[in-house]
Structure 1
Amino acid sequence: MAVISSDNRGLRLAVRYAVLILIALIFVFPLVFMVMSSLKPSQQLLQDSANLRAFLPVGDISLNNYFAAFQRAPVATFVFNSVLVTGVTVLFSLLVCSAAGFAFVFVKWKGRETLLAILLATLILPFETIAIPMLLMVAHLPWLGVDGLTWGWLNSYRVQIIPFIADGLTVFLFVQYFKDLPGELIEAARVEGASWGQIYRKIVMPLSGPILATAAILKFLVMYNQYLWPLMVTQEEGYRPVMVGLQYFFQLNVAWGEVMAYLSLITVPVLAFYLYLQRAFIASIASTGVKG
């Protein structure tokens, strides 16, 4: 009976791994297709897309599409702009939204429930409904920089960063996570004379690794994939992100090999960020806990 039970467990484990491998392959296939297609001439790419050759490095393989992509558009500039805007926005968003969530959950003040309800109500507003009012506002806002006082934020990094630092969804995620933290820790810290700032830095945030990783991933995807707002507020190539740069490859003659090469290049930061946060998420899950 023990042998039969062991065999059954081994069979179930094998089936489970087979299903997981199949699911992984389904998610990997688009990436493999993209990379393989970026190495082929456009005509061969279209011919191979009808069969399994699309996923194999066969035929006329070269890096010509990558060289052509850099010649058609300032790819390095677009990638740098997206990484800079996304990275700065994610960093400040985690700081501001976590502090707001902390204030909504742990600090008692008049009107917090009403303000939280108003904040959550903004989630139902599509961005397209406020895009034009935001554009008119940022076009006349003052800014004090190295060149002195100037008017208007168009064609700048700040116009792509500042309006998106705080958002209702990220604040809501922190509020829900903070509500599940042990309230006894906060009460004990207050009895010991700790300030709200000390509680936030030394108690709450060290326990918030999972929600920080989750919020960072969601914010990264939103900011890195932005198209409409950067298209509206940037007219200079020096400030445009990767999604706006994609339209350069659909002007005049469309070379699908160059399109795939460009998509492969702009996917690298996404994969790198995801792998980094995955490790950070696993490490935070392993280290998060309350020690007595």
Structure 2
Amino acid sequence: MAAVAGDNHRLRLVVRYMVLTLIAIIFIFPLVFMVMSSLKPDQQLLSDTGSLRAFLPVGDLSFDNYRDAFARAPVGLFVFNSMLVTGVTVVLSLLICSLAAFSFVFLNWTGKGVVLSIILATLIVPFETIAIPLLLIASQLPWIGAEGLTFGWLNTYRIQIVPFIADGLTIYLFVQYFKDLPAELIEASRVEGATWLQIYRRVVMPLSGPVLATAAILKFLVMYNQYLWPLIVVQQESYRPVMVGLQYFFQLNIAWGEVMAYLSLITLPVLAFYLVLQRAFIASIASTGVKG
């Protein structure tokens, strides 16, 4: 009986891994197609799309499309702009939203339920409905910099960062996670004389690795894929992100090989960020725990 049970267990594992492998292959096919197409000239790329050759490194392969992509548009500048805007926004968002969630969960103040409800209600409001009013406000906002007092935030990094620092989804994720933390930890810290800021920094946040990784990944994807807002508020090439830069490859004659090369280049930071955060997520789950 034990041998039969062991065989059934192994069979279930084999079937499970086969299914997971098939799903992984399905999801990785677009990436393989993108990379393979970026190495082929346009005529071969289009002729291969009707067969499995589109996913195989066959034919006239070269890095000419990558060279031509850099010649057509400042790809490095666009990637830098997106990484800068995305990185700063993610860091500030995790800080501000976690502090807000901490106040909603652990502090007692009048009206916090109403305020949280209003914040969550913003999740049903499409950004397109507030884009124009936000544009009108941003075009008149003051700023003190190296040039002194100026008005208007258009064509800057801050106009792409500040409106997206705090959002209802990130606050909601932190609120739900903080609610599941053991109340005994907070009570013990208060008895020992810790301030709320110390509890936030030394007790709550070290236990919040999973939600930090989840919120960071979601925020990264939203910010890195921004198109409408930068298209509205940024006219100078020096501040444009990668998604706005994609329009350079659809002007005049479309070179599909260059488009695939550009997409491959701008996808690399996303994959790298995800892999790093995935490892941090797994490590935080393995190391986080409270012994009763």
TM-score with structure 1 setting the length: 0.99
Aligned with 2:220: secondary structure? helix
- The aligned counterpart of 2:278 is 278
CA distance in structure 2 between the aligned counterparts of 1:284 and 1:148, rounded to whole angstroms? 45
**In 2, Cα distance between equivalents of 1:147 and 1:166:** 28
Measure, in 2, the Cα distance between the counterparts of 1:147 and 1:173: 40
User: Mapping of 1:113-132 within 5 angstroms?
Assistant: 113-132=113-132
Shift of 1:145: 1.0
Deviations 1:128-151 (A, max 9, x none): 000000000000100111221111
1:251 aligned residue: 251
Distance 1:209 1:287 in 2: 9
1:188 and 2:201 aligned: no
| Matched AA of 2:259 | V
The AA in structure 2 aligned to 1:126 is P
CA apart distance, 1:291: 4.5
- Tell me what 1:21 maps to: 21
Q: Extract unaligned runs of 5+ from structure 1.
A: none
| Aligned counterpart, 2:102 | 102
Shift in Å, 1:2: 2.9
**Equivalent AA in structure 1 for residue 183 of structure 2:** G
C-alpha distance in 1 between matches for 2:3 and 2:126 = 59
Q: Which residue of 1 aligns with 2:169?
A: 169
The alignment's TM-score, normalised by the length of structure 2, stands at 0.99
Cα RMSD (Å): 0.8
1:65-84: per-residue Cα shift (whole Å, max 9, x none)? 00010011110000000000
SS in 1 for 2:153: coil
Instruction: Provide the C-alpha distance between the structure 2 equivalents of 1:70 and 1:191, rounded to a whole number of angstroms.
Output: 60
Gaps of 5+ in 2: none
CA distance in 2, matches of 1:112, 1:4: 58
For residue 78 of structure 1, what is the aligned residue in structure 2?
Answer: 78
Local SS of the residue matching 2:144: strand
Percent of matched pairs sharing the same residue: 76
Q: CA deviation at 1:5?
A: 2.4
Cα distance, 1:225 vs structure 2: 0.3
**1:14-59 deviation line (CA, Å, top 9, x unaligned):** 1111111111101111100000000001111011011000000100
Shift in Å, 1:4: 2.5
Give the corresponding residue for 2:90: 90
The correspondence of residues 138-153 of structure 1 with structure 2, limited to 5 A, is 138-153=138-153
Distance in 2 (CA, whole Å) between partners of 1:6 and 1:288 is 32
Structure 2 CA distance, aligned partners of 1:174 and 1:241? Answer: 28
One-letter amino acid of the structure 1 residue matched with residue 264 of structure 2: S
Q: How many residues were matched structurally? A: 292
Cross-structure match for 1:287: 287
Q: Give the structure 2 partner of residue 4 of structure 1.
A: 4
Aligned to 1:240: 240
Instruction: Pick which of 8-17 and 102-111 moved more.
Output: 8-17
Give the stretch that moved more between structures: 14-23 or 209-218.
14-23
Give me the whole-angstrom Cα distance separating, in 1, the residues matched to 2:17 and 2:71: 44
CA distance in 1, matches of 2:179, 2:10: 41
